[in-house]
Structure 1
């Protein structure tokens, strides 16, 4: 008898959830985010949630799903670096993570299909980068005692990184020219 009560509760809760979720559906009756745009409204109602996720343009069988899942590794690595001393952190690397997070968060919301999962992971990657960059700057400021000297050190580090990247690019271009 108790299983029947549970079954009735489950069915009633499911029906009320479907009615309550109507305002959260996309305009135009296109259904949930994981619904394929090719599927008609009648076919979508017959598909299970798993089938809609599987057939979605950002579903489980696409790179649009697995790229954000794998990128969480960068966020977790950045969070684990919170325990490292600031003098052992790379300003260039964390600056690149900050820029990557900011640029790709915006881009993920522009592209079609819009990838909210990737935008979320990039947002958190940018947040981790901002925290680490601020830790490095505060550490260097406390060591030097001057904000101007800290800014000059940061500028020098970035200039050296840019020069080495330019030399690598020139070498690659020369190698490509010589091989042709």
Structure 2
């Protein structure tokens, strides 16, 4: 009997966790990363205490909401690192910018993470910074970008363009390419 009760509790915990992430994903996409945690709990059909047991902070919830997108972007950066350094960097920045413009709340979340990353953390911002660093270093090694350009500069640029062009990937792409003309050596 005790094993069945534990199994049921685990099933309930997993179901609540998945439901919270699912609801949060929808609400963040619609309302942005500052959506009310109470609203997320209510629409997931759980109490706020349950939400906080699963996610002790907004940061923890949003990290999980954006985790799949960030992992896909990380893999893409790895693919691009195998080709032409300039093309890889530009393609990466374009894909990151368009993805963030299309994913409401992601650009703001990445920008906020720049100041709030815990040391040795594997946060969304850290993952994007590491991916960008590899591509920038490759581009610098063949003089495909200006000396002194930092990965943080390019992440800030991508985040800013994404924020002002949310839901408009065409404008995001166009503005990014205008800005990147200034990156060339």
TM-score by length of 2: 0.37
Q: TM-score, normalised by structure 1?
A: 0.38
Q: Whose relative contact order is higher, 1 or 2, with alpha carbons under 8 Å and at least 6 apart?
A: 2
Please tell me whether Structure 1 or Structure 2 has the larger radius of gyration of its CA atoms: 1
